[in-house]
């Protein structure tokens, strides 16, 4: 996960737990739109197109 910022790592961890963008935003005190921005950056850095792909790339089974 060294490609991702600390906040992006936090966001992807919460995604892996099934939290919604709103729930993530409430946990880390940022707006849902900022969560969306982090998600877009995560997708770009990991070269994926979905939450499932991102989570599977970070936390392979």
Residue 61 has a pLDDT of: 82
What's the distance, CA 58 to chain centroid? 10
Identify the structural domains of the chain with CATH numbers, from first to last. 6-58 (1.10.10.10)
Placement of tokens 């919460």 in the chain: 14
pLDDT tens string 1-45: 568 999 999 999 999 999 999 999 999 999 999 999 999 999 999
Positive or negative: CA dihedral 15, 21, 23, 25: positive
pLDDT tens string 43-58: 999 999 999 999 999 8
> Which is more confidently placed, 59 or 33?
33
pTM greater than 0.85 = yes
40 token code pair: 């877009």
């Amino acid at each position: 996960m060294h490609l991702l910022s600390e906040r992006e790592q936090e966001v992807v961890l919460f995604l892996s737990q099934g939290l919604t963008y709103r729930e993530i935003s409430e946990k880390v005190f940022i707006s849902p739109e900022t969560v969306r921005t982090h998600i877009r950056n995560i997708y770009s850095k990991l070269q994926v197109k979905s939450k499932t792909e991102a989570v599977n790339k970070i936390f392979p089974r």
